[in-house]
């Protein structure tokens, strides 16, 4: 089956990009399932239920989450609901929910898992359990359940962790998809035992920006120590970054292809 994974949707420009591109892109790529990283959907921090419903209406089927996913109070009940198509990191102490869901498609059930890297700038009160032990437990808990594909999202900062977990899960899941950097990496490949892997998918939002934030905020802060707050860049061009994964089983993929589209 064909699974489209969309990188971090960054605020209103990201949502609008999905609205404008996804319906035709889904047809063009013959995508059976669309998953999106949702931790930056609502003005860059977390996702509201309203924005989640909006993205579902645009064609997104399921959502993964990173360190910001829980920061809108209204989303907590959905993160706890195993029938709701949104998850946060399974190994993050403050994030509601168990970190994985089974998503039903016309081709069968797909297991989607969200994991947070252990080398990560966490805030006070936030902590993580070991990512590798966490994913081991989840796969053991789902052993014997029939899933036609297993997609693991690894939200992390260090390329070493992203690469290591890919090889750790090689031959055990269909794909390991990294994100958080907002910049696509050039390492999409099928690993030796058949698992698709990429270190970072990239982001969906403003192209001429610093990870989705206005350059006029970032550069003075960096150069002159100006104290200011991040503001999302809203002007075009906008970009969509994603990967299309063609899976053959719950432990193997045939192909992973990077997708990049722009709106001027």
- Distance in angstroms (rounded) separating the CA atoms of residues 260 and 41: 19
Is 68 labeled as catalytic in the residue annotation?
A: yes
Residues near 22 by Cβ (< 8 Å), separated by ≥ 6?
Answer: 6, 34, 58, 59, 60
Identify whether the C-beta of residue 69 lies closer than 8 Å to the C-beta of residue 97: no
Catalytic residue among 43, 51, 68, 180: 68
- Distance in angstroms (rounded) separating the CA atoms of residues 68 and 236: 25
Query: With the C-alpha atoms ordered 88, 91, 94, 96, is the resulting torsion angle positive or negative?
Result: positive
Q: Known catalytic residues?
A: 68
């Amino acid at each position: 089956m064909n699974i489209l994974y969309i990188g971090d949707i960054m605020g209103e420009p990201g949502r609008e990009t999905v609205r404008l591109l996804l319906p035709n892109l889904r047809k063009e790529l013959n995508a059976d399932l669309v998953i999106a990283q949702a931790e930056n959907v609502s003005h860059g921090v977390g996702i509201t239920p309203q924005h989640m419903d909006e993205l579902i209406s645009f064609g997104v089927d399921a959502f993964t989450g990173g360190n910001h996913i829980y920061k809108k109070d209204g989303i907590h009940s959905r993160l706890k609901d195993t029938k709701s198509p949104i998850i946060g990191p399974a190994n993050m102490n403050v994030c509601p929910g168990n970190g994985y869901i089974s998503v039903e498609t016309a081709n069968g059930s797909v297991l989607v898992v969200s994991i947070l890297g252990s080398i990560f700038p966490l805030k006070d009160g936030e902590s993580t359990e070991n990512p590798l032990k966490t994913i081991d437990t989840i796969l053991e808990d789902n052993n014997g359940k029939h899933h036609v594909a297993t997609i693991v999202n690894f939200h992390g900062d260090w390329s070493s962790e992203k690469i290591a977990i890919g090889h750790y899960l090689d031959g055990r899941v269909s794909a390991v998809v990294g994100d958080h950097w907002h910049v696509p990496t050039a390492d999409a490949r099928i690993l030796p035992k058949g698992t698709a892997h990429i270190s970072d998918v990239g982001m969906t939002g403003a192209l001429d920006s610093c990870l989705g934030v206005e350059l006029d905020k970032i550069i003075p802060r960096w150069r002159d120590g100006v104290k200011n707050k991040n503001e999302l860049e809203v002007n075009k061009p906008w970009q969509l970054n994603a990967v299309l994964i063609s899976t053959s089983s719950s432990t193997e993929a045939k192909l992973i292809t990077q997708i990049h589209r722009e709106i001027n």
